Chain A
Amino acid sequence: MLKIDDHIPGARIIGLDRAEKRNAIGVELTLALEQILLETRFREDIRILVFHGIGGHFSAGMDMKDFFDSSTRSPELIQKARKATEHWRCHLLRKMPQFIVTAVEGYCLGGALPILQCSDVVIASKNAQFGLPEINFGFVPGGQIVKAVELMATKRALSYMALSGRLIDANQANSWGLVTRVVDEEPMTPALELVNKYLELKSPVLTQ
Chain B
Amino acid sequence: MSNSVQYANAAGESSLQTQLERGVLTVSIGEQDASFLWDVTVIHDLFALFQKADADEAVRVLILQGRGPDFCAGLVAHDDSKDSLEERVRIKNAMELVQQLRTRTLKLLSKPIIALVRGRCSGVGIRLIEGCDIVYAQDDSQFFFSQGELGLLALIPGGADGPSCMSARARSYYSICGEYFDGNAAEQSGLVTFSSSAQEIVGAVQSLAKTLSEKDPLAVKFTKDTLAHVGSMSWDASVNFTAAKFAELKALQAVSEGSATRASAVASFLAGKSKPGLGR
Contact = CB atoms under 8 A, between A and B. Distances in A.
B35 interface: no
Contacts of A146: 226-227, 230-231, 238
**Interface of A: prevailing SS:** helix
A163 B190 contact: no
Contacts of A68: 266
Point out which of B133, B224, B229 has the most chain A C-beta atoms below 10 A from its C-beta: B133
Nearest to A110: B277
A150 B269 CA distance: 28
B269 A142 contact: no
A95 to B, nearest CB: 12
B222 A133 contact: no
A109 B279 CA distance: 12
Interface of B: 112, 133-135, 164-165, 167, 190-193, 208, 211-212, 215-216, 218-220, 222-224, 226-227, 229-231, 233, 235-236, 238-239, 241-242, 245-246, 249-250, 253, 259, 261-263, 265-267, 269-270, 276-279
A91 B235 contact: yes
B99 to A, nearest CB: 18
A163 B270 contact: no
A143 B241 contact: yes
Contact of B219 (A91, A135, A154, A156): A135
Interface in A141-177: 141-144, 146-147, 150, 154-160, 162-167
Contacts of B262: 69, 137-139
A144 B269 contact: no
Contacts of A32: none
A133 B135 contact: no
Interface residues of A, number: 41
A51 B269 CA distance: 27
A64 interface: yes
B131 to A, nearest CB: 11
A2 interface: no
Given A137-B276, A156-B190, A157-B193, A163 B266 contact: no
A5 B113 CA distance: 47
Contacts of A65: 270
Contacts of B133: 159-160, 163
A-B pairs, 4 with minimum CB distance: A138-B262, A143-B238, A90-B235, A143-B230
Nearest to B188: A175
A184 to B, nearest CB: 23
Point out which of A65, A69, A157 has the most chain B C-beta atoms below 10 A from its C-beta: A69
A103 to B, nearest CB: 21
A133 B226 contact: no
Nearest to A139: B219
Contact of A143 (B191, B242, B267): B242
B230 A147 contact: yes
